[in-house]
Amino acid sequence: MPYIKTRDGTDLYVKDWGEGRPVVLIHGWPLSADSWDAQALALANAGFRAIAYDRRGFGRSGQPWNGYDYDTLSDDLADVLEQTGATSDATIVGFSMGGGEVARYMSRHAGKGLVAAGLIGSVVPYLSKADDNPNGAPPEVFEGMLAGIAADRPGFFAGFLKTFFGIGGTGPQVGPETVQWAWNIAMQAGLRGTLECVKSLGHTDFRGDLPAFGVPTLIVHGTADDIVPIDLSGRVAARGIGQAQLVEYDGAPHGFTVTERDRFTKDLLTFLGR
């Protein structure tokens, strides 16, 4: 089943590896399901069923004009769960932007069929500056991203991915080939979805979704994340989710699922084994 069709008729590309308890992996912006390959392979080899899909507008999925808000994206997740048969004993794990789908699925779909969840370098609960979120990112941060993508998307992502992987920082380093691999994935996405998802991940407030988390939730975040700072996201989410387990990777950048691949994969398997 390489594709499923959502309730609004959008085709979503799905990878479905292994057999066992289902673990659905939701990728970050601006990547695709391929960014989860290392973890998906490890999960399948460990006796889990790893399901990863390309968000609408990204990778090999359809590129509709609309539907990049989190209500629709969480409906897409619900459709993936339903059409792959991952409707019981499932875990959903979202990286970066993908954490938003996890949070909104919990509230909008009442966490149907889930036994656990993961927020990995996640944008949850709220990134934008507001009167009740004074440390959030000001509007010009997201406006600058939109302008940079519109003016020179290849150039924008070349710079963005260096920050994403912490190139030149004190943490583990990846080579230029890894940066090129991520750039190639990012450039598969449609321009409309790429832009609209910046607005959604930057401005959606998930604080009201946190009480809906009724399952054990693994939260992993790098302390040197310059894309989604831990003090705006991981630490706040951990305080707002009743059964949260927060794991901090000291000195790790946003893309620690790659730079700290073996450690993170082990931590994820350990959590799932519980």
Q: Is 228 helix (H, G, I), strand (E, B) or coil?
A: coil
C-alpha 104/C-alpha 100 separation (Å) is 6
Dihedral sign for Cα 1, 272, 90, 237, please: negative
List Cα–Cα distances, 148 to 63, 69, 192, 196, 198, in angstroms.
21, 21, 14, 14, 12
C-alpha 94/C-alpha 116 separation (Å) is 12
pLDDT in tens, the chain (274 residues): 599 999 999 999 999 999 999 999 999 999 999 999 999 999 999 999 999 999 999 999 999 999 999 999 999 999 999 999 999 999 999 999 999 999 999 999 999 999 999 999 999 999 999 999 999 999 999 999 999 999 999 999 999 999 999 999 988 999 999 999 999 999 999 999 999 999 999 999 999 999 999 999 999 999 999 999 999 999 999 999 999 999 999 999 999 999 999 999 999 999 999 8
Whole-model pTM: value is 0.98
Q: Set out the domains of the chain in order of their start, with CATH numbers.
A: 3-273 (3.40.50.1820)
Q: Is 119 helix (H, G, I), strand (E, B) or coil?
A: strand
**What are φ and ψ of residue 218, in 5° steps?**
-85, 125
**Catalytic positions, please?**
96, 225, 254
* Residue ranges of E strands in the chain: 3-5, 11-17, 21-26, 48-53, 90-95, 114-120, 217-222, 244-249
